[in-house]
Amino acid sequence: MRKEMFQRFFYFFLSLTFLLLSFTSSSWNPIEFSDKIRQYTRQYEFDYTGWEISAVWEKISTASLGSVHYLNTSQQRKIIEDYFTLLITVNELQQNISEIYGDPNIPTPEKKAVDFEKELENVNSILTNQKQLTESILQYQIGQAIYSLGLSEIGTPFPPILFQTTKLPNQLIISPREAIFQEENISLIADVDLNEIVKLENAIEKDSDYSALVVSVGGVSTYPTMVINTTNLSYLIETIAHEWVHNYLALRPLGLRYSSSRELRTMNETVASIASVEISDAVIEMFYSNLVEIEAIEPKTLQASASASQPNQELFNFSKEMYQTRILVDELLSKEKIDEAERYMEMRRLTFWENGYHIRKINQAYFAFHGAYADEPFSAAGKDPVGDDVRFFRARQPSLASFIRKMSWMYSYPQLHTAARAY
């Protein structure tokens, strides 16, 4: 018991030291950005230092428990199911309170909402107490799946899987108007209201020749990683796995060079996206194959927020339509038809909206962010060949472990292209 406890602490602190020295993130990159942009964002910027101190302390305080190792699979499932049930209750109560305060026919909403608010406080208290055990169980289960896939050289994943469900910072993406690539990526606090977000984007665009967009994300590869709070089990596991892959790559050339070029960023994100799906499938097969599906509340996706009525995928394929949109935008920008490209993107946004995909804004910054996730043949990446080569290379590797290990030691796109086509 003492030996196992010592090993857990040893791996935790060793991995934390490495990751703090060689930090790479899917959405937080400590790059230099101009004072011109900072004058708009400074008051909204996210405090990673404060969050890290709090998260690390919480993980240290629970690392010695080790109780998850004494729970069988059925007990683990029950804890996860109870946690999701509590989270669903919280979401429902928040929705009820929001509707009461938004109903013009209720003269004193604060009185009518008081019972819901008291219940919400009680449920949140219970949820907080169960949160740490739930996270420990998922860390353990995903670690077991990673080990089964051959991705652990020392019997346990390194760096150890550590995550915390939390409110995620939003990301301000800045791209030139004449071309699509991330010029800046700045983390903002989660509680900025939409009105302030729109003002921020408009101010940057008015005062520069850049496009701006604030986007939400599912995770951030700090250490411990930050993960969205959702009751969609598969999505949650995929997000945890996605950010862990970034932690794994951060100790190797591909991750260390994350911000060196657009191609390397796409390689990183596409590797993490492919791997996260395979790791999630392994977790589900090992621990949840016979589990009755828990009611899922759809999370904010990285692509679009669908309306209450589900879009007809047979009539309108989001991925293909976005792929075609990106292709024409790239063509217009290559001919320096910037205004025409922006009018076309707004026209296409309205088309997506009419088909049930409520996207607030499509601009160059939108594609600069979403285009890095190229794990599917049709995506916002358009004809970018990087994603094709990553997928091509994965298809020719005998295992996920082989794929990730070989990719992790690549440091340029030409190296990938040569390797992918050498069959």
Share of the chain above pLDDT 90, in %: 50
Least confident of 191-195, 392-396, 402-406: 191-195
Q: Which residue has the higher pLDDT, 156 or 355?
A: 355
Judged by phi (left if over 0) then psi (alpha if -120 to 50, else beta), residue 379 lies in: beta
Model confidence at 2, pLDDT cuts 50, 70, 90, reads: very low
| Residue linked to tokens 């390689």 | 267
Model confidence at 30, pLDDT cuts 50, 70, 90, reads: very low
Model's pTM, two decimal places?
0.82
Model confidence at 290, pLDDT cuts 50, 70, 90, reads: low
Least confident of 65-69, 108-112, 218-222: 65-69
Instruction: Count CB-CB contacts under 10 A for residue 78.
Output: 13
| Residue linked to tokens 């004193």 | 108
pLDDT at 299: 38
CB distance 223 to 15 below 8 Å: yes
Tens digit of pLDDT for each residue in 296-336? Answer: 434 333 333 333 345 555 688 999 999 999 999 999 999 99
CB distance 142 to 240 below 8 Å: yes
CB distance 19 to 250 below 8 Å: yes
pLDDT at 313: 53
Judged by phi (left if over 0) then psi (alpha if -120 to 50, else beta), residue 150 lies in: left
| Dihedral sign, Cα of residue 31, residue 32, residue 34, residue 35 | positive
Tens digit of pLDDT for each residue in 253-264? Answer: 999 999 899 999
pLDDT at 60 over 70: yes
Grouping H, G, I as helix, E, B as strand and the rest as coil, residue 22 is coil
